Structure 1
Amino acid sequence: MRLRISQLLFRRIHKWVGLVLGIQFILWALSGSMMALLDADAVGGHDGPAMHVMAVATDGLIDPARAAGQTAVSGLVLRDLAGTPVYELTTGSGVRLVDARTGAPVRIDNALATQIAGHVANAPALRATLLERPNLEAREHVAPMWRIDFKDAENSSVYVSATTGRHLVTRGDTWRTWDFFWMLHNMDYFSRTSFNHPLIILVAFGVLWLSGTGFYLLFKSFRKSDFRWLRRRKPVA
């Protein structure tokens, strides 16, 4: 038994596929327009404002070898951490911080994370939350991290690494609005990072099919009678 698809059925399939894909076209246009209209400075890009660069006080520092102790170290950085010089030691078990003056280990707790974030956001801090996994706002960074929320016009949230004490990223309401429309634009409703996922690939092939069938149906909609006016034209002398 042969399956025959009549032109009427073909048109109906084309119509409904066109309706579904048309909604996505509207979402693409809307989201692209909104992202373009939002103030780029208020969005802040993908990394937010950078930390203020602070000079490191080098007086009275202990020998780095003493700070490392018996631990094998593959990397060492001297830097400022909220006004305190620290050694950032990279070891086989991860990164640890040591006070460069006393040799005492430095732990990034609630108070210290809030103090570090205060160099980024010039507003009263509302709360500090320790995240064991990155959320959508800090999805490009590695946990654990502190999220410090501030009371300002943008409802800013500053993310600080709970391991290194480094500022990771700052997000505000304008960026959150931009990120929502970014989600609609790339159709990644979970991680909001990929342009290469099954849904958008399916839609891309759907658009290709819609274009091909639309081109076919365009020619099928014409009749010879539609071109009579061409035959009736008299040559210009």
Structure 2
Amino acid sequence: MKLKNKSSYYTRKVHRYLGILLGVQFLFWTLGGLYFSWNDIENVHGDHLRRDKTYFPATVRLVSPQQALGELQSATQVDSIHSLQLIDLPGSPAYQIRYFAGESASHSEQEDDSHSTGHSSVKVQLANAVTGQLLAPLGRADAVRVAKKTVIAPGTVEKVEYLTAVGAHHEYREKPLPAWAVTFAAPNCTVYVSAELGTFQAIRHNQWRLFDFLWMLHTMDYEGRDNFGNILLRAFSIFGLFTVLSGFALYYVSSPSVRKLKRKISN
């Protein structure tokens, strides 16, 4: 076999097998890219299903947060305050107190949002902002009320679940636990409400679920879906580069135009 023909043969072979290996993944990337670009990300997040946020009137009567903090200090050890927020619980405003007990507040930046993973030392306490009385985490009935207040024209509640742990592929992954999952028949969606924080956390519907599935195929993170720097994705990116380069090489060694040009140069 002549050197030129041998070079063309192996180039074709490399290009063919790389194409087979990467073709399906390239199809997934293309389908995902089309879906991502043709959908409004706000609709994917479910913003179109949510009511506009309401605020407390200036005439609302509240006790001092210090009263609620005093109640909390009487009930448990409080080393330092992480944050204090006024939230809207069904029927009454409430204070959401995040605090440290038995842990140094120097870890607060690292643990700011890690409460959702269950590994944080940040504790949470709800208190009635009108009376200062401490409140228990949200029960089923209150969670359903929060969910109904979140959704525009909520329909029949189909199912209510109490979540204490979720898997890496769950649609509520990396969010505060424990949480209530309230599923409505119309609109067809599930609203997640944090039991301890007392607030809405996420809304999931079919458009988001399809987006999430395509996102997993796009990132090639089949363990947790959100790691955009995993080894598999990096490897396929390099193979993709080789596929493109082998295509250019194949064109070079098999193109009649290139052969004519080389003959002219040699003459």
Q: Which band: TM-score by shorter chain?
A: 0.7 to 0.9
- Structure 1 residue aligned with 2:190: 157
Q: Kindly indicate whether residue 139 of structure 2 is the aligned counterpart of residue 105 of structure 1.
A: no
- Contact 2:22-2:240 within 8 A present in 1 as well: yes
Kindly provide the CA deviation profile for residues 205-233 of structure 1, in whole angstroms up to 9, marking residues without a partner as x.
Answer: 101222223322322224699528x96xx
Change (3 A) 1:22 1:98: same
Which stretch of structure 1 is more off in the superposition, 213-222 or 175-184?
Answer: 213-222
Q: Kindly indicate whether residue 21 of structure 2 is the aligned counterpart of residue 20 of structure 1.
A: yes
Structure with a larger share of its residues in helix: 2
- Structure 2 residue aligned with 1:184: 217
**Cα distance between partner residues in 1 of 2:258 and 2:40:** 55
Q: Kindly indicate whether residue 203 of structure 2 is the aligned counterpart of residue 170 of structure 1.
A: yes
- Contact 2:11-2:249 within 8 A present in 1 as well: no
Gaps of 5+ in 2: 1-5, 102-122
- Structure 1 residue aligned with 2:171: 137
- Contact 1:87-1:99 within 8 A present in 2 as well: yes
- Contact 1:161-1:167 within 8 A present in 2 as well: yes
- Structure 2 residue aligned with 1:68: 69
- Contact 2:126-2:135 within 8 A present in 1 as well: yes
- Contact 2:32-2:218 within 8 A present in 1 as well: yes
Q: CA deviation at 1:104?
A: 3.3
- Contact 1:134-1:141 within 8 A present in 2 as well: no
- Contact 2:67-2:132 within 8 A present in 1 as well: no
Change (3 A) 1:226 1:96: same
1:216-231 superposed matches below 5 A: 216-222=249-255, 226-227=259-260
**Cα distance between partner residues in 2 of 1:51 and 1:108:** 22
Change (3 A) 1:194 1:25: same
Which stretch of structure 1 is more off in the superposition, 108-117 or 68-77?
Answer: 68-77
Larger Rg: 1
Change (3 A) 1:225 1:76: closer
Gaps of 5+ in 1: 1-5, 232-237
- Structure 1 residue aligned with 2:104: none
Report % sequence identity.
29
